[in-house]
Structure 1
Amino acid sequence: MAKQRKKSKAKRRFAPLRWLRRWLVRLGLGLVALMLVLIVLFRVINPPTTFTMLSESRRLGGIEREWVPVDRIAPVMLRSAVAAEDAGFCTHWGFDMNAIRDAIADGASRGGSTISQQVVKNVFLWQGRSWVRKAFEAALTPVVEAVWPKWRILEVYLNVAEFDEGVFGIEAAARHYFGVAAADLSPAEAARLAAILPSPKTRSAADPTAATRSRAAQIADGAVVIARDGRAACFEAE
């Protein structure tokens, strides 16, 4: 009996590493479950804020932001965003393998993220280049693609993107730079806004550099091509 009691006590002996590992697994599963619930909810409910918005609001004492539904965004702005950030938006399932291969070939000097990946990062995760964030992004992106229609992905993307310091979303950006609503953006204005998306704090749509003007001209041409060849069908059909 004494031997059995000793064995029982040995089994119940606290093992810190095992306990920590078990709770880390539980925490990870809990986070994944929470993300899945939010993905389903945000299919019909607009995300109230993001980590980046909260951080910038604290730093600046407030931000400019006004949510606008996709049918109140100029169609040319939708096409310009796709032309600038993700030309294969309508044909991929969340990852553009050709863009990823090109990024690897260029030594990662260029981005390979799709609009879907950027939405996952901006809405559900945090900024940075850690492997943990990348792993979550890779796991959640196909789920967003499966649950949300393409037009919803683009709608959310344009409503949470940062266009200047403290300026979030296409409605606030259109008014901030050009004094018009998102629905009234011209092709040139839409192309300029899309051109600053990769680096909004160092580029200006109102006072663009020669490089930004050149990039905007390329985007404007791309938006025309996307409309002509039918690649806008997935987000303009609704």
Structure 2
Amino acid sequence: MIVHLVDGTYELFRHFYGLRSGRHRSLLARMPKPKAKKRRVNRVKGFASRGRGKKWILLLLVVLLLIPAMQVVVVRFINPPLTLPMLIEQVGAMFSKAPKPPLRYRWIDLTKIPEMFLEHLWISEDQRFFQHEGFDWKEMDLAVKEAERKGKPVRGASTITNQCARSIFLWQGRSWIRKGLESYYTIWMEALLPKRRILELYANVIEMGRGIYGVEAASQHYFGVSARGLTREQSAMLAAVLPNPKGWDPTKAGRTLRWRQRRILQRERSANFPEKLLRFLICEVFTARTRRERRSNVTLHPCFGLDSVSRARHGG
């Protein structure tokens, strides 16, 4: 009976594990292998792939953050043949039924831009341009207080550098994304460009009408003269139109535009206008070999063909 029980158990065991006569295999070979090591290997591979993914994301982020810096370096040495707002306007005109305005954009070196226009530009847009580093915190504070007092939205307090960054690299319009990018470009422009170059870029790429960019193109379109042939009134009018270039026409000036023109001319003639400081900071070159020369006769770099400070000091 015991023999039959053993034989039956053996046959059942052999049938259950698929054993056949002459082909017996070890039970250990038939048992499933532990998967702990495989899981550990897969976990290590997962961590490695995640690490590589993070490195690529970090590299992509660094590249995106450095693209504005590289763009700013390019425009420091190369005059932009086209800007993003120009491109957007021309592409939009292709899909619009309205008449397409021709693109008027002519570059002019800073040495050929009239000094009076640069003064009018400074008075109209950013009187602390040479003091701040891209952001006029005082003007922002005044704008906030004025809005609280009048119960109106906060007016814009953009600096020349802000507007220059927007006019070259970004699009027009109101959005927090564009404002954030504008601020980021402003930081790089103030860090990598001298004030003289920022002013030159701004005077050449700023929008002054539909399809009209820069002081040279605006002078020729509105008054039929080069920028060097502008009168003082015409120069002030071009500077006055900047807050609303598509809505105002210098040749058909209304009450508001005339008021802005008179305001610019009055501020120019004001005794408080720091002409000597303007001349010094625009050129950004202060040649003085000794303290004695600095006190007596300091000459400016001839970037505008200006006379010495001593002449301005004596009202010459």
* TM-score (norm: length of structure 1): 0.87
Larger Rg: 2
Cα distance, 1:63–1:99 mapped onto 2, change above 3 Å: same
Matched, 1:122 2:175: no
For 1:4, the equivalent position in structure 2 comes to: 37
For 1:95, the equivalent position in structure 2 comes to: 135
For 2:144, the equivalent position in structure 1 comes to: 104
**Worse-matched range after superposition: 150-159 or 134-143:** 134-143
**Worse-matched range after superposition: 20-29 or 65-74:** 20-29
* % identical equivalent positions: 33
Equivalence map 1:189-200=2 (5 Å): 189-200=234-245
Note the C-alpha offset of 1:41.
2.0
Structure with the larger RCO, 1 or 2 (CA within 8 Å, 6+ apart): 1
For 2:281, the equivalent position in structure 1 comes to: 234
**Does the 8 Å CA contact 1:73/1:182 hold for their aligned counterparts?**
yes
Q: What do residues 40-92 of structure 1 show as CA deviations (whole Å, max 9, x unaligned)?
A: 22112112211110011221364111111111111111111110000111111
Matched, 1:45 2:70: no
**Does the 8 Å CA contact 2:167/2:207 hold for their aligned counterparts?**
no
Report the 3-state secondary structure (helix = DSSP H, G, I; strand = E; otherwise coil) of the residue aligned with 1:198: coil
**Does the 8 Å CA contact 1:191/1:216 hold for their aligned counterparts?**
yes
Report the 3-state secondary structure (helix = DSSP H, G, I; strand = E; otherwise coil) of the residue aligned with 1:163: strand
What code does the residue aligned with 2:241 have?
I
For 1:180, the equivalent position in structure 2 comes to: 225
Gaps of 5+ in 1: none
Q: What do residues 3-22 of structure 1 show as CA deviations (whole Å, max 9, x unaligned)?
A: 232244356569xxx99998
Note the C-alpha offset of 1:125.
2.4
Cα distance, 1:181–1:135 mapped onto 2, change above 3 Å: same
For 1:35, the equivalent position in structure 2 comes to: 68
- Between the aligned partners of 1:133 and 1:20, the Cα distance in structure 2 is 29
For 1:56, the equivalent position in structure 2 comes to: 89
Q: CA RMSD in A?
A: 2.6
Report the 3-state secondary structure (helix = DSSP H, G, I; strand = E; otherwise coil) of the residue aligned with 2:208: strand
Matched, 1:160 2:200: no
Note the C-alpha offset of 1:192.
0.5
**Does the 8 Å CA contact 1:56/1:62 hold for their aligned counterparts?**
no
Gaps of 5+ in 2: 1-33, 94-99, 148-152, 284-299, 304-316
What number of residue pairs does the alignment pair up? 236
**Does the 8 Å CA contact 1:90/1:232 hold for their aligned counterparts?**
no
What code does the residue aligned with 1:233 have?
F
- Between the aligned partners of 2:146 and 2:60, the Cα distance in structure 1 is 37
Note the C-alpha offset of 1:177.
0.6
Cα distance, 1:24–1:76 mapped onto 2, change above 3 Å: farther
Report the 3-state secondary structure (helix = DSSP H, G, I; strand = E; otherwise coil) of the residue aligned with 2:173: coil
**Does the 8 Å CA contact 2:134/2:159 hold for their aligned counterparts?**
yes
What code does the residue aligned with 2:238 have?
L
Report the 3-state secondary structure (helix = DSSP H, G, I; strand = E; otherwise coil) of the residue aligned with 2:250: coil
What code does the residue aligned with 1:38 have?
Q
**Worse-matched range after superposition: 223-232 or 211-220:** 223-232
What code does the residue aligned with 1:217 have?
R
**Does the 8 Å CA contact 1:116/1:145 hold for their aligned counterparts?**
yes
Matched, 1:85 2:125: yes
- Between the aligned partners of 1:61 and 1:123, the Cα distance in structure 2 is 19
- Between the aligned partners of 2:124 and 2:136, the Cα distance in structure 1 is 14
